[in-house]
């Protein structure tokens, strides 16, 4: 039972600091410092207890995720060739330099690198709020319905469950440059457009199609996760708020939003990660055309690796991206959990 | 009071129906187009509703000229396998992190978080060398193990919160009655977190169903291909034959939609932990 209590205390601390064996900071019980041998034996016992649940997943994780990612760091610092028996000499920061030298020159590696990076940032700014707001609003609306909850959930979820290739086919089709493509037709009927647009052939319309595609396919996922979270909020709080005379808007901002904060964090991390990893949309719709101006990092890296076989440079770009995304996520974590410890 | 409630319900329905129309029109357009003989130039007015008589030859062509029944079976086998591996590993991992205390727990958890931030496709080269070393290229077991490894970080992160929110009183009473850790997991945590597990299982299953890059990279034999890969290759061969391409697309997604509609009733069932502690 003591071990169990310790775990709980630890979980409570976790929001503010990593779970080190806390030296009595703010704890109810002063923690007694054991000798090293005792602590080692205690740790060993705890590991033996958890091992049946932990081992398989941990081994697979190390073999298929951690090791490949560490090896990737090595590749980033070398002139890597996939051929068996090749030398793969260590080249230091050469691969990283290529992404910074000659940013202003058209056609340099760095030029296209930064265009792709810019497109990723724009994708984060457009698709993450788009999916979050739309997904949460639809989830709240569905949650408050008396009838027809499930049918709406199914409808908004269909785009999520469909294969990327299928929905990319559809988007390719409705954004065709002809008069008769669905989007051109509707916009011309509404007199928003005078002439049909070649959506996928121009930089900004191409980017917007990619973003709209991402939001259209992604917000149903946000909605489903939020509806699961909304079901977990106790009704007592809403009843109490109603008695105190709170409006629906107030209830939304003071009860709903704080209650789903953990879910929001999970979704934000995932969506930002998703927007930074936008790939299949670009791969299937524009392939980065015209001349790399709708390109994104993943497609850039993938092309560099598998079309030009520049694995070292591709891995270096990926590493920088990974560091960038991770730093962003850590800042978010600090920001969102700040002072929340309840 | 009652009147305004009813009005609010109607407003919500109107907004949702409007959104639903936007979401569904492209699909309707696809299904209708799959029953028409469209190639090269598009018709002047977009196809939204099917035109009768239906042109079913597209489907016959796709079904006979391409090995779609075989691909369907392959996809089913590997998706179900992936789902089982995924749920078993994720649940036991999340339980370890939610309810056990052991040295290095948060360090490992932070490593999980760290790896989630790294672009997934990048590891493809190194993952290929690992599977190659294990002699598991062109083998479903290799893909399943890979999926088992890649689901760990994200799902541990996702489930942990749900598992931690299970009231401790329930578990304590089970321990007092002499239950083991495993029994607590299967009889208390899993039933109470069913909605969360179900939700995540849907995502996992359909991610595996539509997986493109892993299968494309690790499966070489044509008979072992899945629907997504087959459709992508099909798309390359029949770029402007929209009718034919959409017939193939419909064949690919109809099973997904049917499975989702059948299972979502169980997965979306309500009544989480409320009331479990009372009394």
Residue pair B251/B69 in contact (Cβ under 8 Å)? The answer is no
What's the token pair of residue A145?
């319905």
If one compares A81 and B24, the residue with the highest pLDDT of the two is B24
- The predicted structure's pLDDT at residue A27: 47
Query: What is the residue-averaged pLDDT of chain B?
Result: 81
- The predicted structure's pLDDT at residue A11: 40
Q: What is the pLDDT of residues A288-328, one digit of tens each?
A: 677 777 788 888 888 887 778 888 888 888 888 888 887 88
Residue of B119, B148, B254, B275 to mutate, interface with A, max A Cβ within 10 Å: B119
Q: Considering chain B, what percentage of its residues have pLDDT values greater than 90?
A: 15
Q: What residues are paired with A90 via a beta bridge? A: A78
Q: Across residues B181-200, what is the average pLDDT? A: 83
Residue A215 has pLDDT above 80, yes or no: yes
Q: What span, in angstroms and rounded, lies between the C-alpha atoms of A166 and B162?
A: 33
Please list every residue in chain B whose beta carbon sits closer than 8 Å to the beta carbon of residue A225: 199
- The predicted structure's pLDDT at residue A187: 80
C-beta contacts of B8-17 below 8 A and 24+ residues apart: B8/A144, B9/A145, B9/A146, B12/A141, B12/A144, B12/A145, B13/A145, B13/A148, B15/A141, B16/A138, B16/A141, B16/A142, B16/A145, B16/A152
Q: Tell me whether residues A305 and B125 touch, CB distance under 8 A.
A: yes
Domain locations in chain A as residue ranges: 2-76, 103-337
- The predicted structure's pLDDT at residue A30: 58
Q: What span, in angstroms and rounded, lies between the C-alpha atoms of B167 and B273?
A: 8
Q: Find residues 201-260 of chain B whose CB sits inside 8 Å of chain A.
A: 202-203, 206, 209-210, 212, 227-228, 231-232, 235, 242, 245-246, 249, 252-253, 256-257, 260
Nearest to B231 among A18, A153, A165 (CB): A165
Q: What is the pLDDT of residues B147-171, one digit of tens each?
A: 999 988 888 888 888 888 888 888 8
Q: What span, in angstroms and rounded, lies between the C-alpha atoms of B201 and A228?
A: 13
Residue A166, min C-alpha distance to chain B (Å) = 5
Least confident residue range of A192-196, A309-313, B23-27, B266-270 = B266-270
Nearest to B268 among A150, A164, A182 (CB): A150
- The predicted structure's pLDDT at residue B1: 53
- The predicted structure's pLDDT at residue B209: 87
DSSP B269: -
Contact of B4 with chain A, judged by CB distance below 8 Å, is answered with: no
Confidence label for B143 from pLDDT (cuts 50, 70 and 90): very high
Residue A62, min C-alpha distance to chain B (Å) = 8
Q: Tell me whether residues B145 and A224 touch, CB distance under 8 A.
A: no
* Helix, strand or coil, per DSSP, at residue B220: coil
Which domains, ranges and CATH numbers included, belong to chain B?
2-55 (no CATH), 67-267 (1.10.3720.10)
Q: Across residues A44-55, what is the average pLDDT? A: 87
If one compares A102 and A118, the residue with the highest pLDDT of the two is A118
Least confident residue range of A270-279, B4-13, B55-64, B249-258 = B55-64
**In angstroms, how far is CA A23 from the centroid of its own chain?**
35
ipTM of the complex model: 0.81
Contact of B107 with chain A, judged by CB distance below 8 Å, is answered with: yes
Residue A341 has pLDDT above 70, yes or no: no
Q: Find residues 114-153 of chain B whose CB sits inside 8 Å of chain A.
A: 114-123, 125-127, 129-130, 145-146, 148-150, 152-153
- The predicted structure's pLDDT at residue B142: 92
- The predicted structure's pLDDT at residue A13: 40
Q: Tell me whether residues A161 and B206 touch, CB distance under 8 A.
A: yes
- The predicted structure's pLDDT at residue A33: 67
If one compares A66 and A108, the residue with the highest pLDDT of the two is A66
DSSP string, A152-209: HHHHHHHHHHS-HHHHHHHHHHHT-SSTTSHHHHHHHHTTS-SS---GGGSHHHHHHH
Please list every residue in chain B whose beta carbon sits closer than 8 Å to the beta carbon of residue A301: 119, 121-122
- The predicted structure's pLDDT at residue B271: 32
Of 3.40.50.300, 3.30.70.60, 1.10.3720.10, 3.20.20.10, which CATH number belongs to A103-337? 1.10.3720.10
Least confident residue range of A1-10, A25-34, A294-303, B132-141 = A1-10
Let me know if B81 is exposed, middle or buried by CB neighbors in 10 A (0-12, 13-18, 19+).
middle
Please list every residue in chain B whose beta carbon sits closer than 8 Å to the beta carbon of residue A82: 125
Please list every residue in chain A whose beta carbon sits closer than 8 Å to the beta carbon of residue B118: 69, 72, 318, 322, 325-326
- The predicted structure's pLDDT at residue A22: 43
- The predicted structure's pLDDT at residue A29: 57
């Amino acid at each position: 039972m003591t071990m169990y209590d310790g775990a709980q205390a630890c979980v409570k601390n976790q929001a503010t600091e990593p779970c080190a064996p806390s030296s009595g900071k703010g704890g109810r019980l002063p923690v007694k410092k054991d000798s090293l041998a005792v602590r080692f034996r205690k740790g060993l016992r705890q590991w033996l207890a958890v091992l049946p649940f932990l081992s398989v997943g941990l081994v697979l994780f190390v073999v298929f995720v951690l090791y490949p990612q560490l090896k990737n760091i090595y590749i980033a610092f070398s002139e890597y060739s996939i051929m068996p028996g090749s030398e793969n000499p260590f080249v230091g920061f050469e691969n990283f330099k290529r992404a910074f030298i000659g940013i202003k020159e058209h056609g340099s590696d760095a030029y296209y690198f930064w265009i792709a990076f810019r497109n990723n940032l724009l994708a984060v700014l457009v698709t993450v709020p788009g999916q979050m707001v739309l997904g949460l609003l639809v989830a709240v609306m569905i949650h408050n319905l008396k009838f027809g909850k499930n049918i709406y959930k199914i409808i908004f979820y269909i785009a999520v469950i469909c294969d990327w290739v299928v929905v990319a086919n559809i988007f390719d089709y409705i954004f065709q440059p002809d008069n008769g493509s669905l989007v051109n037709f509707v916009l011309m009927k509404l007199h928003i457009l005078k002439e049909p647009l070649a959506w996928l052939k121009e930089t900004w319309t191409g980017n917007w199609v990619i973003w709209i595609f991402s939001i259209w396919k992604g917000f149903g996922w946000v909605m489903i996760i939020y509806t699961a979270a909304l079901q977990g909020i106790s009704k007592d709080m809403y009843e109490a708020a109603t008695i105190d005379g709170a409006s629906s808007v107030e209830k939304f901002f003071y009860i709903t939003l704080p209650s789903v904060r953990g879910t929001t964090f999970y979704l934000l991390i995932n969506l930002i990660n998703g927007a930074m990893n936008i790939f299949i949309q670009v791969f299937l719709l524009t392939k980065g055309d015209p001349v790399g101006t709708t390109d994104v990092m993943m497609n850039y890296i993938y092309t560099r690796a598998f079309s030009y076989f520049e694995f070292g440079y591709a891995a270096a770009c990926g590493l920088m991206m990974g560091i960038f995304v991770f730093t962003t996520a850590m800042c978010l974590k600090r920001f969102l959990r700040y002072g929340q410890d309840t | 009071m009652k009147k305004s409630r009813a009005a609010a319900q109607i407003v919500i329905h109107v907004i949702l129906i409007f959104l639903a129309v936007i979401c569904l029109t492209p699909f309707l357009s696809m299904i209708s187009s799959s029953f028409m003989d469209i190639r090269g130039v598009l018709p002047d007015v977009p196809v939204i509703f099917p035109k009768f008589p239906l042109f079913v030859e597209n489907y016959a062509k796709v079904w006979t000229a391409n090995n779609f029944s075989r691909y369907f079976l392959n996809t089913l086998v590997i998706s179900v396998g992936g789902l089982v591996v995924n749920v078993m590993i994720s649940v036991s991992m999340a339980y370890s992190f939610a309810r056990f205390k052991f040295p290095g727990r948060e360090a490992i958890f932070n490593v999980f978080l760290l790896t989630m931030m790294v672009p997934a496709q990048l590891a493809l080269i190194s993952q290929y060398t690992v599977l190659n070393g294990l002699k598991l290229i062109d083998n479903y077991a290799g893909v399943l193990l890979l999926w088992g490894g890649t689901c760990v970080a994200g799902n541990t992160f996702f489930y942990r919160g749900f598992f931690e929110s299970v009231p401790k009183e329930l578990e304590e009473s089970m321990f007092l009655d002499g239950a083991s850790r495993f029994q607590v997991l299967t009889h208390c945590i899993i039933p109470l977190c069913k909605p969360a597990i179900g939700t995540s299982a849907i995502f996992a299953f359909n991610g595996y169903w539509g997986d493109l890059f892993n299968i494309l990279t690790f499966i070489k034999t044509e008979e072992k291909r899945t629907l997504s890969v087959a459709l992508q290759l099909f798309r390359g061969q029949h770029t402007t034959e929209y009718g034919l391409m959409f017939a193939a697309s419909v064949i690919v997604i109809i099973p997904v939609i049917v499975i989702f509609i059948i299972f979502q009733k169980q997965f979306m069932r309500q009544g989480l932990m409320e009331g479990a502690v009372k009394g």
